[in-house]
């Protein structure tokens, strides 16, 4: 028998109490790990989405540019619009490779929101990773008919109408706002971004649906040299009635907003962890009181104060390590289920919309190590006081205990 | 001339109880030679267990000196005292004091864990065989009183101490078990161990070489046994 085994035997002396303590640690650790990994996953997903947009600058109407850009990126309805003529002025600016106008707005229904995105060939050029499902094609510039569906939008509509053959290229989509159908030209392959949820229509069609002729909501810009984003952005700011933001600024803003939410959630988790740490301390302390005579026996059979201190400390560490291990196992195995629940929950929050192709929870060994170190730290701290109490017991007094 | 295993000289142990000073031991002196078994008798509160605690290095005398195996342990620093106790003294208690979650063999291994010794399991088995216990994997509650005391004796002996301190070792045992335990003690005495046996049992005391009678922390009588 080793010192470790002795500690393990001791913590199994009161099985139910130990199990409950271990469970409380496991739950706290599972929540901590899940939040850390979700946070990392969402940040990575956000970064990926922004990078996949292939956009270096975004021109939006004046106002709060970050709010407007965030709304537009996630399919919200903009408060103001840009003049369509500004697109050509932007395109004429040296260093601008593509200036792709977009008109994005949403039609709210009782049970869903249809997001329309008016565009032309420049957007197709900008998003050169887009591919259509077999048999599909894009509308040509100047065309006033036709719609291309994002992969999720196609599925959503399919379910709503309970028709299985409606959304194939060549069929028609009825648009009440136009009082006429639009011919479905194609369906996008899944992209893993919010693009999957949109209805893509020619620019003129979108302007007509939302009664905003000659207006656009955004101009996405790809530069010849992304490093020039700051300089060219400053130049574009001089144009009348525009706000320019760089994608890195937008990413930073979104991350800062996430940080605020994260701080609040983490504060709650830390309170839960502190409570479980106090639970550990209480369990070990009770066990020390109950084993006073045993501790006296150990002293009489040759244990020093340091031996007793180490033994009690080790017992605490073992409990937290076992709880931590179980919690991590639960979190890693259960993260898939949680992810689906969270993605479904976020679907109703426009700014945080994720789609089914996004990975929210990320498995990262560093998070595993960090969580384990954290829980072991808790064990170290929670075990100090009971260990000191136990080691200070005088052997004679301990042996006299009934 | 052989070095005595124990030389206690004018040992006092006093406690304060409010304004009153209680002398649990009042100038107790005793020498124990190797291979000698000394019985200590006396009423409850006469100082028997207090004396065992002093010579067992579990407590420090208020006054006087205790020399164990030629080393004066009075005033020895705590760390050294623990090591000295571990290496030279074995304890046996009336209530056995086995750790309830450990098996018989694991209980015997305990002193060796703290001494960081190797071959613990083999040596624990050997010690249990020496006291005649075969159920080495039984938990204490699965053993009868006599067997529990055998385990306690094996635990006390496993590191080959020079001095064995037994506080009412047969106090809770039936006649058959008492006889068996005394047989073990006789064997240990023959091997050269110094044994101090605190007991209320006159039959057991009669098995020792010398009987010391205590009253109020003092020796009031000393006689040869048998």
**Torsion angles phi and psi, residue B46, rounded to 5:** -80, -10
Q: Which of A177-181, B26-30, B40-44, B97-101 has the lowest mean pLDDT?
A: A177-181
Residue A238's Cβ-count burial label (10 Å; 0-12, 13-18, 19+) is exposed
Task: Residue A299: list chain B partners with CB under 8 A.
Answer: 58, 82
The model's confidence at residue A50, banded by pLDDT at 50, 70 and 90, is low
User: Residue B23 has which token pair?
Assistant: 């002398």
Instruction: Please give the Cα distance from B33 to B186 (Å, whole number).
Output: 15
Average pLDDT estimate for A365-369: 85
Closest CB from B53, B93, B115 relative to A302: B115
pLDDT given at position A48: 67
Q: How far is CA A16 from CA A20, A272, B68, in A?
A: 6, 21, 46
Which pLDDT tens digit goes with each residue over A68-87? Answer: 656 655 556 667 889 999 99
pLDDT at A350: 40
Cross-chain Cβ contact B114/A2 below 8 Å: no
- Between B18 and A357, where is the model more confident? B18
Query: Which stretches of A347-364 are DSSP H helices?
Result: none
| Chain A residues bordering chain B (beta-carbon distance below 8 Å) | 1-3, 6, 9-10, 12-13, 293-294, 296-305, 307, 395-396, 399
Judging contacts by C-beta atoms under 8 Å, the chain A residues touching residue B83 are 304
Q: What is residue A251's predicted lDDT score, i.e. its pLDDT?
A: 67
Which among B51, B57, B90, B58 is positioned nearest to B73, based on CA atoms?
B57
Tell me if the pTM is above 0.90: no
B99 touches chain A (CB under 8 A): yes
Q: How confident is the model at residue A354 (pLDDT cuts 50, 70, 90)?
A: very low
pLDDT at A355: 47
- Average the pLDDT over B64-75 and give the result: 92
Interface probe for A, chosen from B86, B97, B118 (most Cβ of A below 10 Å), is B97
Chain A: nearest CA to B100, how far in angstroms? 9
Q: Among the listed ranges A20-34, A361-375, B51-65, which one has the minimum average pLDDT value?
A: A361-375
At residue A402, the pLDDT reads 64
Q: Does B47 touch chain A (CB under 8 A)?
A: no
pLDDT exceeding 90 applies to what percent of chain B? 59
- pLDDT value, residue A71: 65
For A302, the closest of B82, B100, B120 (CB atoms) is B82
* A41, A367, B93, B94, B152 from A27: Cα distances, Å: 21, 16, 44, 45, 42
On average, the pLDDT of chain B sits at 90
- The answer to whether B58 contacts A299, with C-beta atoms less than 8 Å apart, is yes
Ordered by start, the domain boundaries in chain B are 34-60+76-224
pLDDT at A256 over 90: no
Strands in A62-179 per DSSP E? 82-83, 96-108, 113-119, 147-149, 172-175
Share of chain A above pLDDT 70, in %: 83
Higher model confidence: residue A63 or residue A122? A122
Three-state SS at A216:
strand
Q: Is the pLDDT of residue A65 over 70?
A: no
| Closest to B104 (Cα-Cα) out of B147, B145, B138 | B138
Nearest CA in chain A to B86: A302
- The pLDDT value recorded for residue A336 is 73
Min Cα separation B180/chain A (Å): 23
Mean pLDDT of B37-44: 93
What residues of chain B, 170 to 209, have a C-beta less than 8 Å from chain A? Answer: none
**What SS3 state is found at A238?**
coil
Is the C-alpha dihedral spanning A193, A199, A204, A207 positive or negative?
negative
Of A317-331, A333-347, B198-212, least confident by mean pLDDT is A333-347
Q: Which residues of A touch B98 (CB under 8 A)?
A: 297
CATH architecture of B34-60+76-224: 3-Layer(aba) Sandwich (3.40)
In this predicted model, what pLDDT tens digit does every residue of A237-252 receive, in sequence order?
Answer: 898 888 888 877 766 6
B159 in A contact zone (CB under 8 Å): yes
Are B114 and A399 a contacting pair at CB < 8 A? no
CB A355 within 8 A of CB A196: yes
d(CA A396, CA A105): 82
Lowest-confidence region among A131-135, A338-342, A379-383: A338-342
Domain ranges of chain A: 3-48+254-400, 62-241
Which residue of A2, A10, A302 is in closest CB contact with B111? A302
Banded pLDDT at B10 (limits 50, 70, 90): very high
**Mean pLDDT across A125-133:** 87
């Amino acid at each position: 028998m080793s010192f470790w085994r002795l500690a393990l035997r001791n913590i199994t002396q009161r099985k139910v109490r130990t199990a409950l303590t271990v469970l409380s640690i496991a739950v706290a650790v599972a929540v901590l790990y899940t939040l850390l990994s979700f946070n990392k996953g969402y940040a990575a997903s956000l970064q990926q989405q922004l990078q996949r947009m292939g956009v270096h600058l975004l021109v939006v109407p004046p106002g709060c540019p970050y709010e407007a850009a965030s709304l537009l990126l996630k399919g919200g309805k903009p408060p103001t619009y840009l003049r369509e003529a500004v697109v050509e002025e932007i395109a004429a600016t040296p260093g601008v490779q593509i200036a792709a106008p977009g008109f994005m707005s949403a039609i709210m229904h009782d049970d869903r929101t249809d997001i329309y995105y008016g565009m032309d060939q420049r957007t197709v050029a900008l998003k050169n990773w887009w591919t259509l499902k077999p048999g599909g094609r894009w509308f040509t510039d100047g065309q006033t008919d036709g719609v291309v569906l994002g992969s999720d939008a196609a599925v959503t509509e399919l379910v709503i109408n309970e028709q299985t053959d409606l959304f194939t290229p060549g069929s028609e989509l009825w648009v009440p706002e136009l009082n006429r159908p639009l011919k479905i030209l194609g369906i996008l392959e899944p992209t893993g971004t919010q693009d999957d949820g949109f209805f893509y229509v020619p620019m003129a069609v979108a302007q007509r649906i939302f009664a905003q002729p000659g207006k656009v909501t955004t101009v996405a810009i790809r530069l010849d040299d992304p490093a020039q984003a700051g300089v060219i952005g400053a130049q574009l700011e001089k144009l009348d009635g525009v706000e320019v933001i760089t994608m890195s600024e937008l990413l930073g803003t979104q991350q800062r907003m996430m940080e605020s939410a994260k701080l609040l959630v983490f504060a709650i988790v830390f309170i839960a962890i502190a409570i479980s740490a106090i639970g550990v301390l209480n369990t070990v302390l009770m066990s020390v009181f109950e084993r006073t005579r045993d501790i006296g026996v150990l002293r009489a059979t040759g244990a020093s104060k340091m031996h007793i201190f180490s033994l009690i400390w080790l017992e605490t560490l073992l409990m937290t390590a076992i709880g931590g291990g179980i919690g991590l196992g639960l979190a890693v195995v259960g993260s898939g289920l949680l992810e689906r629940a969270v993605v479904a929950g976020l679907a109703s929050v426009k700014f945080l919309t994720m789609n089914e192709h996004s990975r929210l929870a990320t498995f990262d060994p560093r998070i595993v190590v960090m969580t384990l170190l954290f829980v072991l730290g808790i064990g170290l701290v929670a075990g100090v006081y009971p260990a000191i109490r136990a080691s200070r017991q005088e052997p004679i007094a301990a042996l006299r205990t009934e | 001339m052989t070095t005595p295993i124990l030389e206690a000289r004018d040992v006092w142990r006093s406690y304060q109880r409010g304004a009153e000073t209680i002398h649990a031991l009042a100038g107790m002196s005793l020498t124990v030679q190797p291979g000698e078994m000394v019985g200590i008798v006396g009423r409850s509160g006469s100082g028997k267990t207090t004396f065992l605690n002093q010579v067992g290095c579990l407590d420090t005398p208020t006054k006087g000196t205790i020399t164990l195996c030629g080393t004066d342990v009075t005033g020895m620093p705590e760390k050294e005292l623990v090591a000295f106790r571990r290496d030279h003294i074995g304890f046996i208690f009336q209530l056995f004091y086995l750790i309830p979650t450990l098996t018989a063999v694991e209980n015997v291994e305990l002193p060796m864990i703290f001494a960081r010794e190797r071959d613990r399991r083999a040596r624990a088995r050997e010690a249990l065989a020496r006291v005649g216990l075969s159920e080495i994997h039984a938990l204490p509650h699965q053993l009868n009183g006599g067997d529990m005391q055998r385990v306690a004796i094996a635990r006390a002996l496993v590191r080959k101490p020079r001095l064995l301190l037994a506080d009412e070792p047969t106090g809770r045992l039936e006649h058959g078990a008492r006889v068996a335990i005394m047989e073990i003690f006789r064997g240990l005495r023959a091997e050269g161990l110094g044994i101090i046996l605190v007991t209320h049992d006159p039959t057991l005391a009669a098995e020792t070489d010398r009987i010391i009678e205590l009253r109020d922390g003092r020796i009031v009588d000393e006689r040869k046994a048998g």
